[in-house]
Amino acid sequence: MKTKPLTVKINGKTVGPQEVPDGLMMLDFLHEYAALTGSRLGCGIGVCRACVVIIDKPDGTSEEMRTCITGAHFFAGKAIRTVEGHAQRNEKGEIIALSPVQQKFLEHYSFQCGYCTPGFVNGATVLIERLKREPVAKSQVEAVITESLNTHLCRCTGYVRYYEAVKDVILGTPGLTKEG
Amino acid sequence: MKALLTATIVLLLAGCGGPSGDGKPIKSSPELIARGKYLARAADCAACHTAPGGAAMAGGAALESPFGSLYGSNITPDHDTGIGKWSADDFYKAMHDGTSPGGRQLYPAMPYTSYRSMPREDVDAVFAYLMSLPPVKQASQPADLHFPYNMRFGVRFWKMLFLKDELPAASEGASPEWQRGRYLSNALGHCGECHTPRGSMGQMSLGEQLKGAPLGRWMAPDITPAGLASRDWTTDAIAQFMKTGIAPQGSAFGEMHMVVALSGQYLNDQDLHALALYTLGDRPPAPQPARQDATADERLAMGRQHYLNACAGCHGRDGEGRPHVAIAMAGNSTLRQPDSHNLVTSDGSSSRSKTDVGIMEQALQGCRGSWR
């Protein structure tokens, strides 16, 4: 299979350049080349969103991207975050604090088997970051959560607990909502 | 003798399919209703007259046009909001002349331009079927058209110019099956209403029949015999496509998906074959299979990398597709249209790009990503 050199910034660190097959999907690249196994292969056809990572764009905004159906070379020169990149770590690389989204997911026992969780963490984080730029009216919070996370599938815990967790983060973080 | 013969022919013709106009109510029967239901499906009444998720034929589906928005009306037998007070003659006048009771002019979004060649007995059968539906009380939404198109009386003059008794044949043929196909396509299926380009007054440009036309986000493709053959379509494939929405040459999407879902899938095998046969003609032109272009063009290499990055995950590395998930791109009819209008599209935003021998060129702005 034809290869091409690929460099990607993952969780703040530059990975590569290294030779990567031209048609390799990003999820396989994360697992096999970057040794980051947190992103999940669920359906493999871009439906379940367990494989979603975050793209950090040059303008400071962030966006979800499905890695099971997007080629690794699509990410050439781009900066992404995976589920491994959210928690705070000390100099030894040990986790010292989870991100607010991760913490609330735990407190609400949002997920059971955890297979879909990496996608939900990334999806919810993109939502929180968007609300920092564009706060919504308090009355619209539930609608915004639906609109943002409805595409993510979870087959065990149901949708109520993650919903409550994300709502908790949004209402508990100053600046994400406005009156109305 | 000659005069007698002429008089007999005139009388016979007069008895063929013309409006009876005697005002007598039609005698309904389960057989007539069943035939009317079949014809109503072949004519795809539901596409406009049933709103998504709404009651059957109670109206409400929006039709966007360059002249403004129109809405399918309630054609259930409700007396106040539907057509419950209409006679069979009234219904025939609407289908044949585009005029509803009281002389109200119907906008040609209602394709009476095509339905006009339906014989009276078929129109009566559709009427009997509609009258058998449960009446639904739901006021029809008025059209929201720009000036001067919001003046209904203008439709009268439009009809003088553009309402034809029979639409020209779209292919060459003479067999009985071809004749049936012509009726299914030109009159009932009203294929030309989307696939024939329109003139400045919104009329079908009959000189360019079925040569393809813009349709909102989509491009209704060229479905002339030459156009279809150039994209490898055969009679059997068209019949399969109209029945199931999928064929080796591609799948029905956008508006055409609705046509298959509401209409095509209900046609019987004879009619499906007749429709397909008419579309290509009694002697179909030779289908032209897709060829792989071996030129080492730099743009193709870029296009291939974009394809691998953004499309191959579902459509396959070599365009082979995945059964029940993603249509094959290899040999796909949509890739062989003159522009990529139907290939790369996105919700709302403009995303035109070019295609090249089955592989998208580099502009993939329509894909979600950081390319915007």
Predicted confidence at residue B81, as pLDDT, reads: 96
Q: Rounded to the nearest 5°, which phi and psi values hold at B26? A: -75, 150
Domain identity same for A93 and A168: yes
Q: Which two tokens stand for residue A25?
A: 């999907």
Query: B314, A46: Cβ pair inside 8 Å?
Result: yes
Contact (CB, 8 A) for B190 and B111? yes
Domain identity same for A47 and A60: yes
Q: Which domain range does residue A152 map to?
A: 88-178
Domain identity same for A73 and A16: yes
In three-state secondary structure terms, A63 is: strand
Query: A22, B305: Cβ pair inside 8 Å?
Result: yes
Predicted confidence at residue B124, as pLDDT, reads: 97
The label of the residue with tokens 């298959």 reads B260
Mean pLDDT for the stretch of residues B82-107: 95
**Domain ranges for chain B:** 25-162, 176-280, 298-360
Domain identity same for A78 and A93: no
Q: Which residue has the higher pLDDT, B65 or B77?
A: B77
Predicted confidence at residue B349, as pLDDT, reads: 33
- The Cα B86–Cα B78 span in angstroms is 10
pLDDT tens digits along B218-255: 889 999 999 999 999 999 999 999 999 999 999 998 88
Please list every residue in chain B whose beta carbon sits closer than 8 Å to the beta carbon of residue A73: 305, 308-309
Nearest 10 degrees: CA dihedral of B57, B59, B63, B67? Answer: 130
AA identity, residue B134: P
Strand A79-81 vs strand A3-10: parallel, antiparallel, or unpaired? parallel
Query: B309, A71: Cβ pair inside 8 Å?
Result: yes
Query: B317, A25: Cβ pair inside 8 Å?
Result: no
Confidence of residue B23 (pLDDT cuts 50, 70, 90): low
Q: Which residue has the higher pLDDT, B141 or A72?
A: A72
Predicted confidence at residue B189, as pLDDT, reads: 96
- On the question of pLDDT at B357 being above 80, the answer is no
Predicted confidence at residue B352, as pLDDT, reads: 28
The label of the residue with tokens 């329109």 reads B198
Please list every residue in chain A whose beta carbon sits closer than 8 Å to the beta carbon of residue B305: 4, 22, 71, 73
Confidence of residue B150 (pLDDT cuts 50, 70, 90): confident
Residue where a domain terminates, one of A84, A108, A132: A84
- On the question of pLDDT at B340 being above 90, the answer is no
Residue A179 distance to chain B (closest CA, Å): 30
pLDDT tens digits along A111-156: 999 999 999 999 999 999 999 999 999 999 999 999 999 999 998 8
Mean pLDDT for the stretch of residues B103-116: 94
Domain identity same for A100 and A126: yes
Pick the CATH number of B25-162 from 1.10.8, 2.60.40, 1.10.760, 3.40.50: 1.10.760
Peptide bond before residue B287 is cis, with ω within 30 degrees of 0: no
- Selected for mutation to probe chain A from B309, B311, B315, B318 (highest A CB count within 10 Å) is B309
Predicted confidence at residue B345, as pLDDT, reads: 62
| % of chain A exceeding 90 in pLDDT | 94
Sheet-wide strand order for B144-145: B62-65, B68-71, B144-145
pLDDT tens digits along A93-110: 899 999 999 999 999 999
Q: CA nearest B113: which of B96, B131, B91, B88?
A: B96
Cα first-last separation, chain A: 56
Mean pLDDT over all residues of chain B?
85
What is the total count of domains within chain A? 2
Mean pLDDT for the stretch of residues A28-40: 97
Domain identity same for A75 and A97: no
Q: Which two tokens stand for residue A94?
A: 């040990």
- On the question of pLDDT at B1 being above 70, the answer is no
Domain identity same for A79 and A99: no
Q: List helix spans (H) across A12-63.
A: 26-28
Query: B370, A63: Cβ pair inside 8 Å?
Result: yes
Give the domain CATH number at A127. 1.10.150.120
Residue where a domain terminates, one of A61, A84, A107: A84
Contact (CB, 8 A) for B178 and B274? yes
- On the question of pLDDT at B355 being above 60, the answer is no
pLDDT tens digits along B79-93: 999 999 999 999 999
Domain identity same for A106 and A152: yes
Cα first-last separation, chain B: 79
Residue A68 distance to chain B (closest CA, Å): 7
Predicted confidence at residue B8, as pLDDT, reads: 41
Domain identity same for A100 and A59: no
| Architecture in CATH of B176-280 | Orthogonal Bundle (1.10)
Domain identity same for A64 and A46: yes
- Establish whether domains B25-162 and B176-280 are of one fold: yes
Q: CA nearest B196: which of B183, B182, B215, B178?
A: B215
Contact (CB, 8 A) for A92 and A117? no
- Selected for mutation to probe chain B from A1, A48, A74 (highest B CB count within 10 Å) is A74
Please list every residue in chain A whose beta carbon sits closer than 8 Å to the beta carbon of residue B314: 45-46, 69
The label of the residue with tokens 């002019």 reads B105
pLDDT tens digits along A53-76: 999 999 999 999 999 999 999 999
Query: Chain A residue with minimal CA distance to B317?
Result: A23
Mean pLDDT for the stretch of residues B269-295: 91
Provide the strand spans (E) within A84-179: 88-89, 95-97, 136-137, 177-178
Least-confidence region, from B176-180, B299-303, B325-329:
B299-303
Confidence of residue B296 (pLDDT cuts 50, 70, 90): low
Mean pLDDT for the stretch of residues B253-274: 95
Predicted confidence at residue B335, as pLDDT, reads: 87
Confidence of residue B17 (pLDDT cuts 50, 70, 90): very low
Predicted confidence at residue A71, as pLDDT, reads: 96
- On the question of pLDDT at B175 being above 90, the answer is yes
Give the domain CATH number at A52. 3.10.20.30
Of B308, B325, B326, the CB nearest to A22: B308
AA identity, residue B72: G
Contact (CB, 8 A) for A152 and A51? no
- The Cα B170–Cα B185 span in angstroms is 9
Enumerate residues 287 to 306 of chain B having a beta carbon within 8 A of any beta carbon in chain A: 305
Residue where a domain terminates, one of A64, A84, A104: A84
Residue B309 distance to chain A (closest CA, Å): 4
Q: Please give, one letter per residue, the 3-state secondary structure of chain B.
A: CHHHHHHHHHHHHHCCCCCCCCCCCCCCCHHHHHHHHHHHHHCCCHHHHECCCCCCCCECCEEEECCEEEECCCCCCCCCCCCCCCCHHHHHHHHHHCEECCCEECCCCCCHHHHCCCCHHHHHHHHHHHHCCCCCCCCCCCCEECCCCCCCCHHHHHHHHHCCCCCCCCCCCCCHHHHHHHHHHHHHCCCHHHHCCECCCCCECHHHCCCCEEECCEEECCCCHHHHHHCCCCHHHHHHHHHHCEECCEECCCHHHHHHHHCHHHCCHHHHHHHHHHHHCCCCCCCCCCCCCCCCCHHHHHHHHHHHHHCHHHHCCCCCCECCCECCCCCCHHHHCCCCCCCCCCCCCCCCCCEECCEECCCCCCCCCCCC
Q: Does B309 touch chain A (CB under 8 A)?
A: yes
Domain identity same for A74 and A98: no
